[in-house]
Homo-oligomer: A and B are copies of this chain.
Amino acid sequence: MNAPLPKHIHQRIRADIEGHIRSGRWPVGHAIPSEADLMTAYGCSRMTVNKVLSSLAEQGIIARRRRTGSVVAQPSIDKAVLTIRDFPAEAERSGKTYAFDILAQRTQTADVATAARVGIAIGTPVRFLTTLHRFDGQPEALEERLINLDAVPAARTEPFDDRPPGTWLLAHVPWSEAEHVIHAANASPSLAKRLAIATGTACLIVERRTWQGDTLLTEARIHYPGEQHRLVGRFTSTGLAASAAGPE
């Protein structure tokens, strides 16, 4: 049942504590043995114990307080970590072929509405790209992207021959902050046509904005067709675990 005796002391300590918590033997609020207790229990130095407990506290698994000791932390169920993969990576994961078509593009300066929406100055040069992502030839999602050419000048002449804009950007541009907004909307006639679905079909829309410092780098609005697409997030109360996203 237990892991096969980890090589390092800190792994054993950590596995033991996490096991107690995950199994429910140590419920929320339950006291963790003090550092001194764990020292003697595992026959190691305090620094070793301290590194484990500090790490657990950093991850929100336990809460540490002076004098009263450490306790199992209340996990916040209201955080869901979703993976929203790069399209080529997602296709590979699901064993499908990936292809993309750039349906439309233009380079211009940001008008008032655009500038206000994404928080850039009016007149900033931007490149718009409309990309259809296809898995096994079938439309998977439609992406409408804006790239701030002041922030990413190399994108002005990039042909995006072998990689779609999102993948290219991810590899070339360092970023510091990102925001995702997810909502649902009925497909417009033009969107429906390009995704090969019926007008009015419910679509999942993921908007992603990425910044470097205060400068917006890019904004993408990705439309997933109908009920086919699901964003999946899985996590545990003892830290966050990765997940899968994609069609059923």
Contact = CB atoms under 8 A, between A and B. Distances in A.
B238 A181 contact: no
A237 interface: yes
A122 interface: no
A95 to B, nearest CB: 18
Contacts of A59: 58
Q: Which residue, of A85, A176, A178, has the highest number of chain B Cβ atoms within 10 A? A: A178
Contacts of A23: 176, 213
A183 B77 contact: no
Contacts of A82: 79-82, 180, 182, 233
A235 B202 contact: no
Interface string A206-243: 00101011000000000010110111111111101011
Interface in A154-212: 170, 174-186, 200-204, 208, 210, 212
Interface of A: 21-24, 27-28, 47, 51, 54-55, 58-59, 75, 77-86, 89, 170, 174-186, 200-204, 208, 210, 212-213, 224, 226-227, 229-238, 240, 242-243, 245
Q: List the 3 closest A-B pairs by CB distance, nearest first.
A: A202-B202, A184-B184, A80-B180
